[in-house]
Amino acid sequence: MSGAGAWEKFPKVDLHRHLEGSIRLETLREIARSYDLDYPIDDLPRFRTMVQMTPDQRSAEALLAKFAVLRHFFRSEEIITRITREAVLDAAADEVRYLELRFNPVALSAHNEFTPAQACRCVQNASALAAVDCGIDVRLIISINRSEPERAHELLDIACDGVKEGITGLDLSGDEVNAAAEPFIDLFDRARSAGLDISVHAGEWTGPENIRFAIEELNATRIGHGIGILDDPDLISLARERGTLFEFCITSNYLTAAIAVKKEHPVLELTRKHGLSTTLNTDDPSIFDVTLSDEFEFAHDHLGLTIEELRAMNLRAARHAFLDDGTRNKLITHLQQKYAENDNLPAKM
């Protein structure tokens, strides 16, 4: 990953990061070697095209294909433990002070002999230990794949069982072009009643209708990506009135063709002109070969977001974190104190 100089000292919040998209490239190669997986790990450029996005692969289909490949690497509880720990350590090294890590236990258990519940327990244990070791606050979100509705209630049960052990939210992800969200209405009602917060991938590769559905029918308080909102002024008004948070991921949105030109990402327009609640996130740092520092640097240098706006984004993210009020207030106070010290700003403004 490229790093972004002084931005690595800037305290940050990442609300939208997938565990399955956060695996170090060398770790994947070691797993493939250990389990004799049939991947060209000694041909690094070729191997990268199978597990990382490149500019010549820009499409939603290409990204979903990466996740299909990555499912084959989750071969043991030890591997789940390792990749979780490394994901937390990598976030902490990038000065992410609060991380919400989302994952799909079905994906983590698809090619091994343990259950989604066991996979989830591995993630819970490993993330908790890593968080203590590196002084970062980590919460977990269970992600349900739109294309696997038959596993949805199983995953909700897992999420509900883990509410007191790091799991704070439920997410709907996957192929929103070909898989509808309607089958999940009752499930998300039950999730909310159980005390889980709701984030939904919507409007990443479709128009505003999926975003409206997520807000009005699934009662999502946060939208993953949501690029499609630009096409509906009434929906922009609705999202602003409800205080819906948009989890934007600049590099991801470009490499999956959600936007055509990276330097024309709408986060600035939607924040300044339309007054939407927005944040910056990584999505899949390994798949997109990006850090949150990279995203902040790009937003500042190429999109025109100011230091003050980027600070405000982190504080906004903290206010929308899936936390209890006391913990959320501590996080906000911590960030405010760090920003007041003025020694964590990039040297070049």
Give the span between the Cα atoms of 345 and 322, in whole angstroms.
27
Sign of CA dihedral 111, 114, 116, 122: negative
Distances (CA, A) of 225 to 17, 198, 218, 256, 343: 12, 14, 16, 11, 31
Confidence band, pLDDT 50/70/90 cuts, at residue 1: very low
- Strands annotated E in the chain: 12-18, 96-103, 137-145, 167-173, 197-202, 222-225, 245-248, 277-280
User: Does residue 117 carry a pLDDT above 50?
Assistant: yes
CATH 3.20.20.140 fits 5-341, yes or no: yes
**pLDDT single digits (tens) 183-230:** 999 999 999 999 999 999 999 999 999 999 999 999 999 999 999 999
In this structure, are residues 255 and 249 in contact, taking their beta carbons and an 8 Å threshold?
Answer: no
- Token pair 């993210």 in the structure block, residue: 317
Q: State residue 293's pLDDT score.
A: 97
User: Does residue 315 carry a pLDDT above 50?
Assistant: yes
User: Does residue 2 carry a pLDDT above 50?
Assistant: no
Give the span between the Cα atoms of 134 and 114, in whole angstroms.
29
Catalytic residues: 204
Q: State residue 185's pLDDT score.
A: 97
In this structure, are residues 168 and 194 in contact, taking their beta carbons and an 8 Å threshold?
Answer: no
Domain ranges of the chain: 5-341
**pLDDT single digits (tens) 331-343:** 999 999 999 986 5
Taking alpha carbons only, the member of 15, 332, 13, 10 closest to residue 169 is: 15
**pLDDT single digits (tens) 34-85:** 999 999 999 999 999 999 998 899 999 999 999 999 999 999 999 999 999 9
Query: Is residue 42 exposed (0-12), middle (13-18) or buried (19+ Cβ within 10 Å)?
Result: exposed
Can you give the pTM of this predicted structure?
Answer: 0.95
Give the span between the Cα atoms of 8 and 19, in whole angstroms.
21
Q: State residue 343's pLDDT score.
A: 58
Residues counted in the chain: 349
Taking alpha carbons only, the member of 263, 279, 181 closest to residue 225 is: 279
**pLDDT single digits (tens) 136-186:** 999 999 999 999 999 999 999 999 999 989 999 999 999 999 999 999 999
Helix axes 60-70, 44-51, angle to 10 degrees: 110
Written as six digits, the tokens of 95 are 């000065």
Q: State residue 232's pLDDT score.
A: 96
Query: 3-class SS at 112?
Result: coil
Sign of CA dihedral 5, 7, 138, 216: negative
Confidence band, pLDDT 50/70/90 cuts, at residue 5: confident
Q: State residue 180's pLDDT score.
A: 93
Written as six digits, the tokens of 149 are 């509705």
Spell out the residues 6+ positions from residue 41 whose beta carbon is closer than 8 angstroms to its own: 28, 29, 32, 33, 47
Q: In the chain, pLDDT over 90 holds for what percent of residues? A: 93
Residue type (1 letter), 182: E
Q: State residue 164's pLDDT score.
A: 85
User: Does residue 3 carry a pLDDT above 50?
Assistant: no
Mean residue pLDDT of the chain comes to 95
**pLDDT single digits (tens) 7-37:** 999 999 999 999 999 999 999 999 999 999 9
Spell out the residues 6+ positions from residue 23 whose beta carbon is closer than 8 angstroms to its own: 70, 73, 83, 86, 87, 286
User: Does residue 348 carry a pLDDT above 60?
Assistant: no
Query: 3-class SS at 135?
Result: coil
Q: State residue 6's pLDDT score.
A: 80
